[in-house]
Chain A
């Protein structure tokens, strides 16, 4: 089945230690998104790629970066995680204007 895959599902890091989350897709969608979701809240868009064009949300901290080396893969880099960055990180893909397809998420714990 075509899908959105996120690795790892659970990530534990130390305060200030860089971490990278990965997302891959087999849907061949041209847009990939990264969201942050905290408990019982709506997903908050961090940024998205339309093909190779990077689109950052105005309120996304500089601590968050992203890379998209090819159509299938997208990475979220958190350069210096703080306690407030502990959350579920969701990757999604779409072929606009159609709906977004979400991955299972990576739960990040910051110690």
Chain B
């Protein structure tokens, strides 16, 4: 069965620091990959997605992710975080018409 691992459970950064959140999936075939963000008290929103093509995907709010097939990874990055990026981040892989979510990474950014 497919699974998604997010190894960073809680990340604490200062503003302007660079961010990289890890995501690994366990499926060797064609994958559709997603990063969702959940700001405090708000609903899950799509940050970015990968279906095919350029493995470096640009998302909203300055986020990007790189699909590395050989490493089964889809890490999320942002060169300079802001206090407003404080949120829970979920990586997900599509399995037929369902999503398999990782356990999430809680990001706290301090001014």
Say whether B98 contacts A48, CB under 8 Å: yes
Contact segment of A60-68, A78-86, A98-106: A98-106
Say whether B88 contacts A94, CB under 8 Å: no
Does more than half of chain B's interface fall in helix, strand or loop, or is it mixed?
A: strand
Say whether B101 contacts A43, CB under 8 Å: yes
Say whether B49 contacts A99, CB under 8 Å: yes
Say whether B45 contacts A42, CB under 8 Å: no
A43 to B43, CA, bound (A): 11
A45 to B103, CA, bound (A): 13
Interface size on A, residues (CB 8 A): 21
CB nearest neighbor in A for B96: A96
- Residues of A whose CB lies within 8 Å of any CB of B are 31, 33, 40-43, 45, 48, 50, 90, 92, 94, 96-97, 99-105
Q: Given contacts A102-B36, A104-B42, list 17 more A-B pairs with CB under 8 A.
A: A33-B98, A40-B88, A42-B90, A42-B102, A42-B104, A43-B101, A45-B99, A48-B98, A50-B97, A92-B44, A97-B51, A99-B46, A100-B99, A102-B43, A102-B44, A104-B43, A105-B43
- Residues of B whose CB lies within 8 Å of any CB of A are 32, 34, 36, 42-46, 49, 51, 88, 90, 94, 96-99, 101-104, 106
